[in-house]
Structure 1
């Protein structure tokens, strides 16, 4: 499951939208996975991600272990399709943590920024067409990290698990949207 969220060496080297928001990143986490469908069909699922929005997609087998109120939606929800620069959405990083939309270019690019204590954060999601599929590229950049070793170990593991869950849950939803 985890190898399915690995970014290629070329994907890790390339510049992405949002890199300029944390130019001197201490930690960069790159992930990538492929899903069925063109970016236009994947985009509505990506734009509605988030706490107090559509949730964080996990596969059904994992969500069954969660209370009903904590499960992510399995449909495109109209009210969460409108997102623009400057919009703020809650994040799972803490009770009061948020992301602010820095850049949005439907149906391919969504970049968030945040400030967590002394750490600057950017998170970019890029949808790249690949025939009848879409390559989903995610990059998390952290700047002014005091405990770099902790971010590179525990943070990296948490990111890997989170994105692996997202990839599996998104694939499920795209295969049989209800």
Structure 2
């Protein structure tokens, strides 16, 4: 599944862009998933370390210890994010994201401080328009934008960080699509 954002998506102004107004690195990823935004939203809202995890497809998760695999169902306890809530992150032992804005089922926006750098992470969901003869499932365009700055070595984040981000989001996109396509199986 391609996670390449379109030129229009990369130019779009997203919630949280103003939190890191002069970002040294901006990473945009986007993909289309066969489910309506209101079906995708609960899965997005529960992402995170010590929460639902980071969705990967079954073929990759089977190599992880059971306790490190992401859930395969929606958990009510993670469906109530509010601005100010803190979500643990995989970026390090004490790294977290703070919820900046929540607008179900379209926008979830986080902020974080990593050393001297500010980070914002916006996740937006938009319905994919259907044509008059389209009788397929409703679809959602999921757009993720990470902004970071100031950075001492922006080139390092733009190259190495971008590669890691691409692989991470591609895994998440495939894992999320798998979960939405099949029955929940804990």
Q: Which stretches of structure 1, 4 residues or longer, exceed 4 Å deviation after superposition?
A: none
1:76-91 matches, cutoff 5 A: 76-91=74-89
SS of corresponding position for 1:45: helix
Which of the two has higher C-alpha Rg? Answer: 2
The aligned runs of 1:87-166 (5 Å cut-off) are 87-131=85-129, 132-166=138-172
Structure 2 stretches lacking a partner, 5+ long? 130-137
TM-score, reference length from structure 2: 0.93
Deviations for 1:69-115, whole angstroms, at most 9, x for unmatched residues?
00000000010111000000100000000000001100000000000
Query: How far apart in 1 are the matches of 2:91 and 2:21?
Result: 22
SS of aligned partner of 1:5: coil
TM-score, scaled relative to structure 1: 0.98
**2:159 match: secondary structure:** helix
Shift of 1:56: 0.1
Aligned to 2:182: 176
RMSD: 0.6
Alignment partners' CA distance in 1, 2:150 and 2:8: 26
Q: Aligned residues, how many?
A: 176
User: What is the alpha-carbon distance in structure 1 between the residues aligned to residue 151 and residue 180 of structure 2?
Assistant: 36
Partner of 2:72: 74
1:145 Cα shift? Answer: 0.7
